[in-house]
Amino acid sequence: MKTLMKYAVLLIVIAVLIIGLLFAYGRGLIPGLAPSYTLNVTIIRDQIQQLSTLTTTRFSYSSLVTTERDMPGFLKLLYGEQQVMVAVGHVTAGIDMTQIKPEDVQFTAGTLSVRLPAPALLDCFLDENATYIAAENTGLFARPASSVDVETRRYAVRQFRTAALENDILGNAQSQAQTAVRAFVELLALPGVTNLQLTITAPDPNAPLPATCA
């Protein structure tokens, strides 16, 4: 009976030691025995690129825009044209995740480093369903010119673009992208990733504007 008890105690001690070693191994507490992980950063990059549509920021605006032909006062009575438009539109900014390069996603010693492209304006549009001409005055001999309507719309879009930039739409797009990527990586629960380091490329002030924002 005593022999059986000794064997039972020995087995318990061995089991405890094995469990302790496995725990220490999994935690990387034993030098030289820490588990190593190899992540396929190409697959991770491809997955992050799918987040493009989730990392956009849209600012909406409405404004009263008045446009008129520049001419001497007495000619305005005869040939002048003035247009008052209620303009409603939006400006969208975001990050084009497809621009992420292979070197922008790295995994080293438990840290997943991701460098995101710079935020940029994506589009500027008038909502034609909400935009309308509130008033239009023409001189006695003036012919309504479609160019005035076009110029009014262009001016409104430029005003919306300027307002969006002044209200830091690019900064908002950057913050939203970082939040989305961080939440996405945490959701993946990648093995061996103990830290996520996100950096972002600064906006290029000389970057060309989208055709709709020019």
Residue 55 identity: T
Q: Both tokens of residue 28?
A: 């990387």
Minimum mean pLDDT range among 55-59, 136-140, 172-176, 181-185 = 136-140
**Of residues 132, 129, 123, 124, the one with CA closest to residue 154:** 124
User: Residue 195: which residues within 8 A CB-CB, separation 6 or more?
Assistant: 110, 111, 112
pLDDT of residue 177 exceeding 50: yes
pLDDT of residue 192 exceeding 80: yes
Distance CA 89, CA 80 (A): 28
Neighbours of 85 (CB within 10 A): 23
Output the pLDDT for position 143. Answer: 61
Contacts of 61-64 spanning 24+ positions with Cβ under 8 A: 61/87, 61/88, 61/89, 61/90, 61/91, 61/159, 61/160, 61/163, 61/164, 62/86, 62/87, 62/88, 62/89, 62/130, 63/87, 63/156, 63/159, 63/160, 64/134
Distance CA 153, CA 111 (A): 49
Give tens-digit pLDDT for 90-116: 999 999 988 899 999 999 988 999 999
Mean pLDDT score of the chain: 78
Structure pTM?
A: 0.71
Q: What does the pLDDT average to over 119-146?
A: 78
